[in-house]
Amino acid sequence: MNWTTFLHFTRGPLFQVSLLIFVGGMAYRLVRVVLLGWKGDKAPAKGSKLAGVAKTYLKGFLIFPFIPWVKRTFNRNPIMYLAGGLFHLGLFAAILLGTPHMLVWKSLLGFGWPTLPLPIVDWLAAASIAAMIALLFYRRTNSLLKLLTGPAETLNWLLVFLPMVTGYIMTHHLFFQYEVLFSLHMLSVDVLLIWIPLSRISHFMFYFFSRTIHGVEFGKRGVTP
Amino acid sequence: MSEETIYQRLEKNGVSRRDFLKLCGTLVGAMGLTVPPLESSGLPGHLLTEDQTIRKVAQALESKARIPVIWLEFQDCAGCSEALTRSQSPTLIDLVLNTISVEYHETLTAAAGHQTEENKQSIMKQYAGQYVLVVEGSIPMALGGAYCTIGGRSAIDILEEAAAGAAAIISTGNCAAFGGLPKANPNPTDAKGVWELITDKPVVNIPGCPAIPEVFTGTLAHFVIFGALPELDDLNRPVTFYGKTIHDRCLRRPFYEAGKFANTFDDEGAKQGWCLYKLGCKGPTTHNACATIKWDAGLSFPVQSGHPCLGCSEPDFWDGGGFYQGQSAPLNRPAATAVGAAIGAGAVVGAAMAANNSAQKKRAAQASEE
Ligand code: HEM
Ligand code: HEM
Ligand code: SF4
Ligand code: SF4
């Protein structure tokens, strides 16, 4: 076994298996959530459900802290707020707008899109990694968060952190040969893919559920958030 | 004849002293040598200049008897031999092939049949423990080696016999080194590279498809001149030539960094000489000297002339993803049926669990009503 064969394994059979587990696992989670059922709607609606959904999403996307209601969340917890946003921004920039990643989507979906220059993705990736470290530090020191952080939360953090750092080190050709880091990057991605349906990282799907449901509820009651 | 030194032989062939020193200079360049390998000569490193390196090489050629080379071909296309004989560095190749000296070569030897076989046997006896064995092509292990036989003997049989008396083995080309094309999925002949089969002799791999002639000769010359193999990496490739990747030395690299890519072979990007990553370039993981030594006397190399690197110096490069598919893309797409099956399985299990739960809930509710 050499690194090139190992890379072929992590890019080939292992990736396929991980991807199928990911897809199957997410389908399972989705069906479970959908079949939990929506309680029958007996009270007459006081407002438009659609407007409620729209407003909830708008608020979700308006992450700038100068808007009054956002400011409240922001002031309560600025580090978490900024770091969380920065982390997701860098993550999405890398996995959607980095050239190597776009090519992964292209091979899976059959179409591609323009990508960002490497230095931009790279700076965002670096910011994202720094933000992750800040988030972990905060989780470890804040007394309330400490209570909410069990092994699962730490694993969530670690299994997202590993692809981020291996990708970053690989891009900069540091410490090891490129194919070694490529293998480790792929290995960590494969593990993450298996882990996502088992964990709360599946929030990338359920986030939209909870937002939609909250929006419908808010809209129905005429309490626009 | 075995006492004749390399220099004496060159002199006999009409090479002047001046030309000889020039050749030594070429050799130093070919071996990618500046100073390090000479440290073992006992001279303190800082005293060694390139001039002294050349003198060292000259001394070695003046004092050393020539080392015979036995060249075996198995499952190959003779492309590596072809590349060598058509190389644009004629003096160097001539020196190595004729003077340092290939005694047996299945394609190049003029004689044929039992006569050459006998000749090979007598060289192997006379130079036992001294000759260099060069192998081109992979060795098939399926059906007891029946896929490749010469004179009624299987490749593995011939290889083992010749390896037993060799001082060192050089596998030239991806086939002899890592199995190459014959080993590509589904590998019908169970092809193997030499180093998987011969483990009790030093084996140097000079992979490539074909191997770069100057890299092959440089490595052979190193052994002949210094009596030792150059420093090797974890795949037994000389570090001097395989230490860096194509991507490390690529002239299109600034475009990679800037995110400027050719998307097809005839778009504006291709005309501007932008990076070929999206067209499938394997440069980032390919260790070879193409980007520096190049081909045809330094004229060009694939990436320079507009074709993505195929990764021909890496193990199993035929199975390393489509040649024109981006290198980060998964090796193959999971079949739509497999994805469908996974989604279906997940959904069915989910629905079954949900049904089971709600049935339980109902039962519980009934129980509490009673
Ligand atoms: C099949 C999946 C993936 C493949 C084939 C892949 C491949 C790559 C490659 C080839 C690079 C290096 C680019 C270069 O050398 O310039 C890279 C960088 C990177 N990858 Fe991935 N990756 C995958 C998934 C992921 C995932 C899921 C994450 C995050 C959770 C991730 C995070 C990163 C980061 C942060 C970088 C560094 C970007 C930079 O600094 O510019 N990758 N990836
Ligand atoms: C549409 C996509 C996504 C949205 C809207 C989203 C939204 C959020 C929100 C609101 C939080 C904060 C809630 C909390 O602290 O528990 C969060 C946390 C987190 N998200 Fe996402 N997310 C998305 C995708 C992803 C993806 C794809 C990943 C990883 C591959 C990811 C990894 C994480 C992690 C690790 C945390 C916890 C950070 C910490 O507090 O330590 N998210 N996300
Ligand atoms: S490595 Fe390529 S050129 Fe050399 S023998 Fe094999 S197929 Fe032919
Ligand atoms: S053409 Fe290939 S080797 Fe050159 S920079 Fe682009 S990816 Fe790297």
Report domain extents, chain A.
73-148, 150-217
The stretch B29-46 carries a mean pLDDT of 48
The residues in B 248-287 lying below 8 A from A, measured between CB atoms, are: 248, 256-261, 277-278, 284-285
Protein residue with least CA distance to atom 5, ligand 4: B253
For residue B63 the two structure tokens come to 């004092």
Which region among A61-75, A77-91, A103-117 has the lowest average model confidence (pLDDT)? A61-75
Percent of chain B whose predicted confidence (pLDDT) is above 70: 87
pTM of the prediction? 0.80
Residue B224's pLDDT band (boundaries 50, 70, 90)? confident
Which region among A189-193, B56-60, B126-130, B206-210 has the lowest average model confidence (pLDDT)? B56-60
Cα separation, B125 vs B68, whole angstroms: 12
> From the CA of B294, how many Å to the nearest CA of chain A?
22
Q: Do B251 and B237 share a structural domain?
A: no
B255 is a domain residue? yes
Decide whether any atom of ligand 3 lies within 6 Å of the B218 Cβ: no
Cα separation, A189 vs A183, whole angstroms: 10
Protein residue with least CA distance to atom 39, ligand 1: A122
Residue with tokens 């009790």: B200
B208 is a domain residue? yes
Asked if the model's pLDDT at residue B275 lies above 60, the reply is: yes
Cα separation, A3 vs A8, whole angstroms: 9
Decide whether any atom of ligand 1 lies within 6 Å of the A104 Cβ: yes
Q: How many domains does chain B have?
A: 3
Domain's final residue, options B242, B271, B302: B242
CA A162 from chain center: how many Å? Answer: 14
Amino acid at A152: A
Q: Do B238 and B250 share a structural domain?
A: no
> From the CA of B147, how many Å to the nearest CA of chain A?
25
- Return the pLDDT at B208: 93
Residue B48's pLDDT band (boundaries 50, 70, 90)? very low
- Return the pLDDT at B151: 84
Residue B41's pLDDT band (boundaries 50, 70, 90)? very low
Q: Residue B256 class from Cβ within 10 Å (0-12 exposed, 13-18 middle, 19+ buried)?
A: buried
Q: Do B312 and B249 share a structural domain?
A: yes
> DSSP label at A118?
H
- Ligand 4 pocket test: which of B253, B301, B304 has the largest number of ligand atoms within 8 Å of its C-beta? B253
B56 is a domain residue? no
Q: Do B233 and B90 share a structural domain?
A: yes
Which region among A139-153, B72-86, B190-204 has the lowest average model confidence (pLDDT)? A139-153
The stretch A89-106 carries a mean pLDDT of 89
| Higher pLDDT pick, B284 / B111 | B284
- Partners of B275 in beta bridges: B261
CB A12 within 8 Å of CB A189: no
Asked if the model's pLDDT at residue B219 lies above 70, the reply is: yes
Q: Do B219 and B84 share a structural domain?
A: yes
B253 is a domain residue? yes
Q: Do B222 and B125 share a structural domain?
A: yes
- Return the pLDDT at A211: 63
For chain A, helix, strand, coil in percent to 5 are: 80, 0, 20
- Return the pLDDT at B205: 95
- Return the pLDDT at B43: 39
A9-24 tens-digit pLDDT: 898 889 988 988 888 8
CA B63-B69-B71 angle, to 5 degrees, is: 165
B29 is a domain residue? no
* Complex ipTM tops 0.85: no
- Return the pLDDT at B99: 60
Asked if the model's pLDDT at residue B30 lies above 70, the reply is: no
CB contact set of B240 (below 8 Å; sequence gap of 6+):
B31, B32, B33, B218, B230, B231
Percent of chain A whose predicted confidence (pLDDT) is above 70: 69
- Return the pLDDT at B184: 92
CA dist list (Å): A41 to A52, A53, A209, A215, A222: 16, 16, 18, 15, 15
DSSP, collapsed to helix, strand or coil, labels residue A177 as coil
Q: Note the residue count of chain A.
A: 225
- Return the pLDDT at B147: 93
Tell me the residue range of the domain where B318 lies: 244-333
B2 is a domain residue? no
Q: Which runs of E-coded beta strand occur in chain B? A: 69-73, 102-105, 132-136, 139-140, 149-150, 153-154, 168-172, 191-192, 203-206
CB B139 within 8 Å of CB B192: yes
